[in-house]
Amino acid sequence: MKRTYAVKEIATFLYSSGDLTNEFFQNHSQIDGKKAHLYLQKLYNEESTKEYYIKHSFEFDGDEITVHGFIDGVIKEKGSIILEEIKSTREDLKKIDLDYHQEHLAQLKLYAYLYGLLNNMTIVFIRLTYISVDDYKTKSFDMSFSLNELKEFFYKAISDYTRWHKTLSEAENLKLDTLKDISFPFASKRKGQAEMMKACYLTMKSNGILYAIAPTGIGKTMATIFSSLKSMTKSNEKLFYLTAKTIGREVAIESLRMLQGAGLRLHAIAISSKAKSCASKMPHCDPEKCPYAKGYFSRLREAIEDIYNNEMLYSYDVIYEYAMKHNICPFEYSLDLSYFCDVIICDYNYVFDPKAHLIRYFDDSQYLPKVLCDEAHNLVERSKDMYSAEFDSLLPLRLEERLSSYDKLITKNVKHFYDNLKKYDELVNKDLFYYSHFLDDLMLSSLRQIVDHSDQVLADNKDIKDKDEILNDYFLLKDFVDTAEFFGESHMFVVKKLEDNHFQIEIKCADASDFIYDTVKNKTKGVVFFSATLFPLRYYMDLLTKGNGKYINLPSPFPQDNLNLIIKDDVSTRYKDRASTVLDVAKVIEGLVKSKKGNYIAFFPSYKYIELVLNHLDIEDSEIIIQKPNMDDSERDRIFNKFKNTKQPHLGLFVLGGSFSEGVDFQGDLLNGVVVIGVGLPMVNIENNIIKEYFEEKYGAGFDYAYTYPGFNKVVQAAGRVIRSETDRGVVILLDERYKYQIYKSLMPDFWSGRITLNNVSMIKNNIKGFFDDSDIIM
């Protein structure tokens, strides 16, 4: 069998060593590293060669092996030839020795054997050089090895790596063989499921873009995963399943488990957040404090081989178990393990965020990633956040107070920052707000210098006082500086004056479609965006892929008679009218709750609106549950579990667009009805009005793109909590006079076609009572 290995991949897998850290000396960008490389290579004399490509093929253990790579420098110096490998770093050069990262020397020794063999050398001279990306100072290690020594090292590495490569090859062949034979794991397909599968399959085969409006109940997770996998015929094709919710990851893993039960053999991983995965619960990696970071790379290879040879589906629990077994960080373990997986289930940012995406897949043309984007309506706002950043103007001062004793240039640059900031006292308008379509270059220059000098101080002083607080500020400032690299026509620079005379400074992205479409077009091999609420479709196509792609709109598989959707469009819930219409809103909620004993939710535009209506509600039998700001997962779970107690009726007063209005399954009798108060409009403010102007100029529909469409999506999501299965029956009331407007009527999905308009509260109560009486007869 033919096998091709890159020298660097052999060295990295077999010989990686050292501690895990996400700090400064490992945080320099690829651009910084490349600049440092070029700086050294420009010093070579004319006889020397940089980026020397080497390749050698040979027979080994019945296989034809090809090993290749680029030697950074072949230097001719004083009649001798020296092979140089350059590594850029932010580590203190004084602390670097040959054990710093053993894979670096291993890589150079592999190159040395190939070069010595092909050039008939008996002794090979090598130089391992570390260069600081901050000041270009260097530290070199010069060595020499006989060709026989290098040969022994080389073939030991080839033997070890080929054994691992055979394991991977056998798994790849088994995956492709079982993919050919695997059948859909259910006897029949749900309504709309076959159509979705066909469209998804054809999209992946043609490297296309598909938008699928897929209502709840179609079985879209299984449909998209199965059809995408069936389209894969090459070993380097990978499938990414993107979801922002824990439940989404769990459903995807369960779908793969079912396919595994039907005979499919592949490796899949679900990557959880760093906060959830961290075994030490520390905000930042520190090998001096965390045993799972200390020596991480030295234990990684054994941990990967262990789990790969014994498991196929890597859920959070499985990853954590093996991480503890090998005493390594579960989060970083999941990222490293993902490189050997066929299916990767993760958050959107691992594909679309330039500061977090998995570089190996999306900056390397050898991989062919296919992407499924679940709940794709969320990606519009998420993508804007990926290209936005902000910080408080007090932050540079805090860094200066803690770090200036180590580097006086920090004080100098912080002073430049605040001298420049003074002009915004006059530039902010009466609303204490300033914006521009251009960055403040003077400010950005000061911030870069503060980040760079803080970088070096923190790299040189690992035991610095208040380290966690410093790191929080450092990374916020660094994120702002990094985000500035993407600043363009769809961005604005914002300065807001806050209390106590300081400022909030922001880079705000109004439209990330240029960036998202570039990733889709140039770095993936087929993308399917799917959700039940891609309304209106043109809005999502414009703001994700610049209008490109095909689409399908699938009908709901559930009986329309199961949903009783009532519109009451004679009450204003606008901010200025809320006090005068509060009794009308309260009466509608009371009427719904009293129509049948059960669980109900009223979704409001804000927490203050909840308080206003709560004071006018006359409800005795139901326990009223009120959503509070900034609830953590445990508090949300506690509330959800209350709804499971069907003996006690409940009324939830929740915020529209919050954690209870999306991604929560209230199946069966867990939820009998919902009232949505308002049309979900984002807050009308200066920033959103600027975004409105941007979209008005670009699409001629500024208010709709900035306000109407994002708001209505929240409404559809909240209403969708009621009917979660084919046997669920329930009521949805939309309460706002704006629902009589044509724009909202045009946005309503097909599965709302049975909606009725009722404005008399007594008629609404009678209608609901009759609906539930019919339900009881049906049951």
Mean pLDDT computed over 636-661: 91
**Statement: residue 28 has pLDDT above 80:** no
Mean pLDDT computed over 392-413: 96
CA 367 → CA 228, 238, 297, 319, 359, distances in Å?
Answer: 16, 7, 24, 24, 11
Tell me the HSE value of 659 on the side-chain side, using a 13 A CA sphere.
17
DSSP 506: E
Question: Do the strands 389-392 and 503-509 form a parallel or antiparallel pair, or are they unpaired?
Answer: antiparallel
Between 78 and 190, residue with greater pLDDT: 190
Between 463 and 506, residue with greater pLDDT: 506
Q: For residue 30, what pLDDT band results from cuts at 50, 70 and 90? A: low
Which residues is 160 bridged to in the sheet?
Answer: none
Mean pLDDT computed over 265-289: 91
Q: What is the pLDDT of residue 207?
A: 97
Euclidean distance between CA atoms 471 and 492, whole angstroms: 27
Q: What digits encode the pLDDT tens for the residues 552-573?
A: 999 999 999 999 999 999 999 9
Q: Is the peptide bond before 536 cis (omega within 30 degrees of 0)?
A: yes
Mean pLDDT computed over 142-164: 98
**What token pair was written down for 756?**
């009725």
Find out whether 113 and 147 touch, Cβ atoms under 8 Å.
yes
**Type and span of the H or E element at 254:** helix 246-261
**Statement: residue 222 has pLDDT above 70:** yes
Axis-axis angle for helices 379-386, 537-545 (nearest 10) = 30
Find out whether 642 and 580 touch, Cβ atoms under 8 Å.
no
Asked which of 226-240, 361-375, 696-710 is least confident by mean pLDDT, the reply is 361-375
**Statement: residue 363 has pLDDT above 80:** no
Sheet-wide strand order for 433-436: 389-392, 503-509, 491-497, 433-436
Share of the chain above pLDDT 70, in %: 98
Mean pLDDT computed over 348-369: 83
Q: What is the pLDDT of residue 568?
A: 98
Other CB atoms within 10 A of residue 495 CB: 21
Q: What is the pLDDT of residue 664?
A: 82
Euclidean distance between CA atoms 265 and 308, whole angstroms: 12
**Statement: residue 712 has pLDDT above 80:** yes
Euclidean distance between CA atoms 101 and 14, whole angstroms: 12
Q: What is the pLDDT of residue 355?
A: 85
Q: What is the pLDDT of residue 24?
A: 43
Euclidean distance between CA atoms 643 and 114, whole angstroms: 68
**Statement: residue 342 has pLDDT above 60:** yes
**Statement: residue 530 has pLDDT above 90:** yes
DSSP string, 473-496: HHHHHHHHHHHHTT--TTEEEEEE
Q: What digits encode the pLDDT tens for the residues 238-249?
A: 999 999 888 899
Q: What is the pLDDT of residue 775?
A: 58
Q: What is the pLDDT of residue 619?
A: 93
Phi-psi region of 204 (alpha: psi -120 to 50; beta: other; left: phi over 0): alpha
Q: What is the pLDDT of residue 25?
A: 38
Mean pLDDT computed over 117-140: 95
Q: What is the pLDDT of residue 777?
A: 46
Q: What is the pLDDT of residue 27?
A: 43
Provide the Cα torsion 361, 365, 368, 369; round to 10°: 30
Q: What digits encode the pLDDT tens for the residues 591-644?
A: 999 999 999 999 999 999 999 999 999 998 899 999 999 888 889 889 999 998
Mean pLDDT computed over 718-726: 93
Tell me the HSE value of 258 on the side-chain side, using a 13 A CA sphere.
15
Between 366 and 588, residue with greater pLDDT: 588
Q: What is the pLDDT of residue 773?
A: 86
Euclidean distance between CA atoms 102 and 11, whole angstroms: 9
Euclidean distance between CA atoms 611 and 668, whole angstroms: 29
Q: What backbone torsions phi and psi does residue 31 show, to the nearest 5 degrees?
A: -65, -45
**Type and span of the H or E element at 424:** helix 424-427
Q: For residue 667, what pLDDT band results from cuts at 50, 70 and 90? A: confident
Euclidean distance between CA atoms 392 and 414, whole angstroms: 14
Mean pLDDT computed over 178-200: 96
Mean pLDDT computed over 515-532: 96
Question: Do the strands 673-677 and 730-735 form a parallel or antiparallel pair, or are they unpaired?
Answer: parallel
Average pLDDT of the chain is 94
**What token pair was written down for 619?**
């409800």
Q: For residue 407, what pLDDT band results from cuts at 50, 70 and 90? A: very high
Nearest to 293 by CA among 20, 543, 99, 496: 20
Find out whether 532 and 213 touch, Cβ atoms under 8 Å.
yes
The domains located in the chain, with CATH, are 2-164 (3.90.320), 190-385+513-553 (3.40.50.300), 388-509 (no CATH), 560-778 (3.40.50.300)
Between 343 and 354, residue with greater pLDDT: 343
Euclidean distance between CA atoms 564 and 732, whole angstroms: 6
